[in-house]
C-alpha cells in the first residue's frame, strides 16, 4: 500500500488499534488525523529500521529505571507509553497480515523476519541463483541493510557486499558485523557509513568469480 492507502487503512480499522491517543473522546477530527499521522510515522520508522513487533516488545520488557536518568515517576510514565505503543504496533502488523496487505517498508520487514526465523527458507532461496547486485546502496534503509547482511551470510551467495572483505577495504569483517559494531545517530548516518565502505573498494581489482568475490 502507498502512504495514502495506509492512512486510509488505519482510519478504517482505527477501533482495532489499542492506542490511547486514538481513544480520547474529546479529540476533534483534525486532532484525530494528527494522532493517526504521528502513529503512522512511528510504524514506518520501526518498519524501515527492521524492528518487528516482537523486538519492540522485548525492548519494552527490558526497560529498567537504572538505565535512564529520570525520576521514577517520569520513567513509569515513559514505560507505560512505550508499552502502549508496542501493543499498537503489534496490532497494526497483525491487521496487515489479517487483510493480506502490506506497506513498502513492511515488505522488507516481512522478508527480514522470515529469513531470520526460517534459515532453511534462506538456504533454499539463495540456492536458485549465484549472484546478487546491490544497486543504489546509498538509498537503502537500515532494514534493507540488515536483509542484505542476512543474504551475505549465506555461503552460496556471490554479491557486491563481499567486496567489503577485500584487502583494499578498511575492514575485513563481514558486512553484518561491520553494521552491528557501530552506533548511528540516524538512519542516514548508517546508510552513509556503509556506502562509504563500498565506495572505498576498488572493484576493478576484484576479478575472481569464486564464491566470496564480486
The predicted structure's pLDDT at residue 91: 93
Question: Among the three residues 52, 81, 106, which one is the final residue of a domain in this structure?
Answer: 106
Res 111 pLDDT > 70 = yes
- Which range, 15-29, 53-67, 85-99, 196-210, has the best average confidence (pLDDT)? 85-99
The predicted structure's pLDDT at residue 97: 92
| pLDDT tens column, 173-207 | 444 444 444 444 554 555 555 555 555 544 344 33
Phi and psi angles of residue 127, each rounded to the nearest 5 degrees, phi first? -70, -15
Can you tell me the distance from the alpha carbon of 67 to that of 82, in angstroms, rounded to the nearest whole number?
15
12 and 96 part of one domain: yes
139 and 159 part of one domain: yes
130 and 157 part of one domain: yes
The structural domain count of the chain equals 2
| CA 138 distance to own-chain centroid | 16
16 and 64 part of one domain: yes
Fill in the DSSP letter of residue 148. H
**Higher-confidence position of 14 and 90:** 90
The predicted structure's pLDDT at residue 203: 39
pLDDT confidence band for 172 (50 / 70 / 90): very low
7 and 98 part of one domain: yes
126 and 148 part of one domain: yes
Q: How many Å is the maximal CA-CA distance in the chain?
A: 66
The predicted structure's pLDDT at residue 95: 92
The predicted structure's pLDDT at residue 109: 93
| 186 inside domain | yes
| 178 inside domain | yes
135 and 60 part of one domain: no
17 and 51 part of one domain: yes
95 and 22 part of one domain: yes
86 and 124 part of one domain: no
Region of 48 on the Ramachandran plot (φ > 0 left; ψ -120 to 50 alpha; else beta): alpha
pTM for this entry: 0.65
Average pLDDT over residues 96-112: 92
Work out whether the CA dihedral 30, 34, 35, 36 comes out positive or negative.
Answer: positive
76 and 123 part of one domain: no
| Structural domain of 181 | 118-208
Average pLDDT over residues 110-137: 76
| 112 inside domain | no
The predicted structure's pLDDT at residue 107: 93
29 and 56 part of one domain: yes
Res 168 pLDDT > 70 = no
Amino acid at each position: 500500500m502507498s502512504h495514502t492507502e495506509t492512512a486510509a487503512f488505519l482510519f478504517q480499522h482505527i477501533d482495532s488499534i489499542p492506542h490511547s491517543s486514538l481513544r480520547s473522546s474529546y479529540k476533534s477530527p483534525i486532532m484525530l488525523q494528527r494522532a493517526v499521522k504521528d502513529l503512522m510515522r512511528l510504524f514506518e520508522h520501526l518498519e524501515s529500521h527492521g524492528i518487528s513487533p516482537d523486538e519492540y516488545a522485548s525492548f519494552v520488557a527490558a526497560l529498567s529505571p537504572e538505565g535512564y536518568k529520570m525520576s521514577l515517576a517520569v520513567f513509569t510514565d515513559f514505560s507505560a507509553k512505550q508499552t502502549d505503543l508496542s501493543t499498537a504496533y503489534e496490532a497494526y502488523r497483525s491487521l496487515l497480515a489479517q487483510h493480506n496487505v502490506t506497506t513498502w517498508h513492511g515488505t522488507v520487514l516481512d522478508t527480514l523476519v522470515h529469513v531470520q526465523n526460517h534459515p532453511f527458507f534462506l538456504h533454499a532461496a539463495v540456492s536458485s541463483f549465484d549472484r546478487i547486485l546491490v544497486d543504489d546502496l546509498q538509498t537503502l534503509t537500515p532494514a534493507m541493510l540488515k536483509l542484505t547482511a542476512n543474504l551475505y551470510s549465506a555461503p552460496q551467495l556471490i554479491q557486491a557486499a563481499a567486496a567489503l572483505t577485500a584487502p583494499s577495504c578498511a575492514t575485513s569483517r563481514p558486512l553484518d558485523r561491520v553494521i552491528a559494531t557501530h552506533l548511528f545517530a540516524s538512519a542516514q548516518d548508517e546508510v552513509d557509513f556503509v556506502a562509504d565502505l563500498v565506495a572505498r573498494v576498488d572493484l576493478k581489482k576484484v576479478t575472481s568469480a569464486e564464491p566470496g568475490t564480486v
